[in-house]
Amino acid sequence: MEILAFGVQSDEKPLIEKAFEGRHEVRCLDVFLTADTAPIAAGYEVVSTSVNCALGHRVLQTLAAGGTQLVAQRSTGFNNIDLEVAERLGMTVARVSSYSPYSVAEFAWTLGMAVNRRIVRAANRTRDFDFRLAGLMGRDMHGRTAGVVGTGKIGEAFARIAHGFGMKLLGWDVAENPACVGLGMEYVSKERLLAESDLVTLHVPLMPATQHLIDAEALRLMKDDAILVNSSRGGLVDTQALVTQLREGRFTGVGLDVYEAEAGLFFLDKSLETVEDDTLARLVTFPNVLVTSHQAYYTRDAVGQIVDATAANVLDYTEGRRSENVLVPRS
């Protein structure tokens, strides 16, 4: 069986091909699955997608009409897939329920420290042989407070890093993580976490209940000199509200690896085009903001685990097994 994989990065391609070697043929495309590209999948029983592929009603109908029966998503998140439509069409949908939490946690910490210590500005200056220190002053994280919003595997990994730097830990989640409690984390209300934390990091999934979890009201609760990091999903933050707060001179730094309107932008080269997203264009102009293109997960370890799990999902599908990765079972 030949599998069609959409949205494959050049670094990812050899890992995907190796994962399926000896099992199935895989055709890797760098284009993302959209309404315009969905017809390419005609004749492919299995299609693999990335998190920035859009699998709404129209796309899923096109896939089903072309014979696709399994969508194997190469990510943990699945808010880009209309599961109800997939079920009505009799399609099976699987994802990767977990992979290295350290990849995202380490990157989140890196983002926080990069904006704290003005690393990008410093690097740009020294490239021009400007070695002044003015405007580069950061602050110690030791003794300050880290607020971890979402204390699952990734949040726990971040908490361990922050604990290692001597930070006080506050947590917010629907359930306490005993490992985080063991690190000295105090679970508090979201409002108290935002008000008392010097660094706030987001590690919750995107769902209706968490859409714009960090809205204008939440941002106003935060310290004026706080650091905000989001390496989870862009929709957790009301970006327009964030821009408004940044224009008022608030926050030491903001590190964003995700953006709520990133589909159609992230993972693509738009350097020679006019980006029409005024909010993003304004966001990247702030000197205390660092935006990266959804790369927190992008380590050889994590991507390797993702593609191995995807290959296992396809094997389970062909052999009639169902694992925890299945979102919509085979009908």
Instruction: Name the residues annotated as catalytic.
Output: 233, 262, 294
CA distance 50 to 74: 5
Tokens representing 206? 């995107």
| Residue 276: partners with Cβ closer than 8 Å, 6 or more residues away | none
Q: Dump the DSSP string for 199-228.
A: EEEE----STTTTTSB-HHHHHHS-TT-EE
Positive or negative torsion for Cα 295, 195, 236, 162: positive
The number of beta carbons lying within 10 Å of the beta carbon of residue 167 is 22
Q: Give the separation between CA 75 and CA 141, rounded to whole angstroms.
A: 32
Q: Helix 13-20 to helix 300-318 angle, to the nearest 10 degrees?
A: 40
Residues 6+ away with beta carbon under 8 Å from 324:
97
| 290 token code pair | 């660092």
The DSSP secondary-structure symbol of 257 reads S
Query: If you ran DSSP here, which 8-state letter would residue 198 be given?
Result: S
Distance CA 48, CA 53 (A): 10
Contact in structure between 118 and 227 (CB atoms under 8 Å) = no
Residues 6+ apart with CB under 8 A from 260: 234, 235, 237, 239
> What does each C-alpha distance from 200 to 14, 50, 228 come to in angstroms?
36, 27, 5
